[in-house]
Amino acid sequence: MRNIIEWNQREEVDWLQYTVQPPLGIMTGDYYIAAKEFGGTDQVSGHKGRLEVVCKDGKILFAEFNEIAMEAYYNQYFSNQDKRRSDYGIWQSSKPRQAKAGCVLADGMLHVEAQIMERQSLEGDFELLTGASGSMKNMLPMAWELAEAIKKPSEKKFYGIAEDFGYGITGWLHVILTEGRIVSCHYDEVFADHQKEIRFPELKRYYKQSKYNSPCYQDPFPRGWDRHAWNINFRTLMDLLEKRVVKTQCLLDLDGLPYTEGENQGPMWDADQPYDDPVTNSAAVRYPSYDNYLRLARKLLTVLPAGFAGKEGPKDYE
């Protein structure tokens, strides 16, 4: 049996193989999504499965399964939490059964996705990974459902970009348009699959997770500070950003959002920086993820239809 590491020690589990990284570069195409609930009872709702697919010119460019744990999940920490880019897979690895099988749910998802991409088809039977097949058996009907849907153009258009910032964090922005209007604008920052790739020491514990989906994520103190500079978490800030973009139909206008004002410390987590940097003279620090978001938003605007730039927000560090 593989070595079992206690989930909350935050040491890297060296036998975990799955990746949480999005495909790098710009991707555009027709967007399809299917959802399915399973595992519930007449008294409690079940797990929520999801399959997202992006196609262009008859080719499947992207296919990703995910699952949100049921609200009544026995481990309350994961109640209503994303199982793909939270620390769910790390927690699973602490179970003897999973360690013996050498895989977790995310491995099972990736195994089926690889077959979809290789076959360029959502139809037929798929080989399931032994030890990670339970949820996948419940989610496969979503693939068969979308197999018919992708034969026709979708009213939803996908515009996405992912970029490895080079210090163990990948920015991922995707925008969905319906009838020429933005209906979704989701930005996330995904940590590297291995701790050695994450330069900032306080962030290493979040390997194989994303800021948006990690239940335990909190930003470290900015340089020169001895306390939290931002009292609103990443997920809430990005939800507020999305609501703003959907309302204004402008990707670059961030005026009035929390923590857009203050000192710009640039790409904060790009080096092994100790906390004893010179104390800042500023009373506030701008939230660094806004700069990362704007960096990708400007690049995505080059492939989006005209008219979504809007008022220019704060300059990023380029």
What are the residues whose beta carbons fall under 8 Å from the beta carbon of 210, sequence distance 6 or more? 20, 85, 172, 188, 189, 190, 191
Distance CA 164, CA 192 (A): 9
* Residue 62 Ramachandran class (φ > 0 left, ψ -120 to 50 alpha, else beta): beta
Q: State the SS3 of the chain.
A: CCCCCCHHHCCCCCCCCCCCCCCCEEEEEEEEEEEEEECCCCCCCCEEEEEEEEEECCEEEEEEEEEECCCCCCCHHHCCCECCCCCHHHHHHCCHHHHHHCCCHHHHHHHHHHHHHHHCCCCCCCCCCCCCCHHHHHHHHHHHHHHHHCCCCCCEEEEEEEEECCCCEEEEEEEEEECCEEEEEEEEEEECCCHHHCCCHHHHHHCCCECCCCCCCCCCCCCCCCCCCCCCCHHHHHHHHHHHHHHHCCCCCCCCCCCCCCECCCCCCCCCCCCCCCCCCCCCECCHHHHHHHHHHHHHCCCCCCCCCCCCCCCCCC
pLDDT in tens, the chain (318 residues): 677 777 677 889 999 999 999 999 999 999 999 999 998 898 999 999 999 999 999 999 999 999 999 999 999 999 999 999 999 999 999 998 888 888 999 999 999 999 999 999 999 899 999 888 888 999 999 999 999 999 999 999 999 999 999 999 999 999 999 999 999 999 999 999 999 999 999 999 999 999 999 999 999 988 888 889 999 999 999 999 999 999 999 999 998 999 999 888 888 888 655 545 555 556 789 999 999 999 999 999 999 998 888 766 555 544
What is the pLDDT at residue 278?
Answer: 53
Percent of the chain with pLDDT over 70: 93
Distance CA 245, CA 61 (A): 26
3-state DSSP assignment of residue 184: strand
3-state DSSP assignment of residue 61: strand
Q: Which residues pair with 56 in a beta bridge?
A: 59
pLDDT in tens, 150-193: 999 999 999 999 999 999 999 999 999 999 999 999 999 999 99
Residue indicated by tokens 């459902």: 145
Nearest to 238 by CA among 167, 306, 282, 172: 172
- One-letter amino acid of 77: Y
What is the pLDDT at residue 270?
Answer: 81
What is the pLDDT at residue 4?
Answer: 75
Distance CA 140, CA 207 (A): 28
At residue 167's C-alpha, the angle toward residues 104 and 28, to 5°, is: 70
What is the pLDDT at residue 275?
Answer: 47
DSSP string, 135-172: HHHHHHHHHHHHHHHTTS--SEEEEEEEEE-SSSEEEE
What is the pLDDT at residue 317?
Answer: 47
pLDDT in tens, 188-215: 999 999 999 999 999 999 999 999 999 9
* Residue 185 Ramachandran class (φ > 0 left, ψ -120 to 50 alpha, else beta): beta
Q: Is 126 exposed, middle or buried (0-12, 13-18, 19+ CB in 10 A)?
A: middle
3-state DSSP assignment of residue 27: strand
